[in-house]
Structure 1
Amino acid sequence: MRRVTILWFLVAACLGVALFLVKYEVQDREEKLAALHREILANQEAVHVLEAEWSYLNRPSNLEAMVRRHLDLVPLDTTRLGRIEQLPIRLPSFEEAGTMTAGIREAAAATDDLPAFAPPAPLPRPITISAKVRR
């Protein structure tokens, strides 16, 4: 009987120590959880402040003032538009170039003469407008 009592006393002591350790572990984790909640709330408030600042800075009147202050934009007029003839000639793709080269070699072998290719004509310089339009 004495051994059983000692055994139950040891089991109760171990359970008491385990309960003590679990209690303080739970308290520690609750403190960490509360700290994380405070940090999340602080971050959410910071995000709200940043969104409000972003909305304030993206007001159309504010953007228009910054564009006028920092960019030298002028309205687009029709003299700055080009014609289709001014576009550069499209270069052949890799596959097309291979078949074209083979066709040129066959034609050159048949006539013993290489065809002459002219480079594309240079493009005209774009028109620049230096006058600023003021409203």
Structure 2
Amino acid sequence: MRRMITICAAVTALASGAAVLQLKLAVQEKAEAVEALAQKIHEDREAIRVLEAEWAFLTTPRSLQEKSIRFLALMPPNAEQVVTDITRIPFRPKGVEAGEDPGVLLPTRAKPEEKPKNDKADEDKKGQSL
């Protein structure tokens, strides 16, 4: 009987030792994966920072102006080309008159016309759809 208890204890100790070793290896593997992921995140953040700095450099007003002159043959507007009075905007559609200066450069949209409401017809439609 004593021998059986000793054998069971030894087998239990070996099994628990193997389980602890397997758990240790799994934890180390996960820790390495987390470390690799953290390194990848750091590299990606650094790449994003570099790209944002590059984008900021490439989109400076001076750089954009030089590129527009070189590639698009666009020149900065002259003082005579700037329209200060909105009533003198060229190519205004016929029949559209400009009113007082609203303080904005873009015209606003016209409000859509409202349909007259027929309360009884609306109530009938609601009752039928339920």
* TM-score, length of structure 1 as denominator length: 0.56
Structure 2: which amino acid aligns with 1:20?
L
- The amino acid of 1:93's aligned partner reads E
Which deviations, in whole Å up to 9, do the C-alpha atoms of 1:92-126 show, x marking residues without a partner?
A: 62514x88xxxxxxxxxxxxxxxxxxxxxxxxxxx
Q: Name which one, 1 or 2, has greater alpha-carbon Rg.
A: 1
Given the two structures, how large is their TM-score scaled by the length of structure 2?
A: 0.58
- Judging changes above 3 Å, is the alpha-carbon distance between structure 1 residues 42 and 17 closer, same or farther for their aligned structure 2 residues? same
Distance 2:15 2:24 in 1: 14
Shift of 1:82: 8.2
Report the CA distance shift for 1:76/1:12 in structure 2 as closer, same or farther (over 3 A).
same
CA distance in 2, matches of 1:71, 1:44: 37
Specify the alignment match of 2:103 in structure 1.
none
Distance 1:14 1:43 in 2: 43
Distance across 1 between alignment mates of 2:53 and 2:12: 61
Does 1:61 pair with 2:62? yes
Distance 1:93 1:68 in 2: 46
Cα deviation for residue 27 of structure 1 reads 1.6
Q: CA deviation at 1:76?
A: 3.6
Gaps of 5+ in 2: 98-109, 119-130
Which aligned pairs between 1:1-135 and structure 2 lie closer than 5 A? 1-69=2-70, 70=72, 72=74, 74=77, 75-77=81-83, 78=85, 79-80=88-89, 86-87=95-96, 93=113, 95-96=115-116
Runs of 4+ in 1 over 6 A off after TM superposition: none
Give the root-mean-square deviation of aligned CA atoms: 3.2
Residues in 1 aligned to 2:41 and 2:28: alpha-carbon distance in whole angstroms: 20
Q: How many residue pairs align between the two structures? A: 96
AA of the residue aligned to 1:64:
Q
Q: What amino acid maps onto 1:12 in structure 2?
A: A
The 10-residue stretch of structure 1 (65-74 or 35-44) with the greater mean CA deviation from structure 2: 65-74
Aligned residue identity for 2:89: R
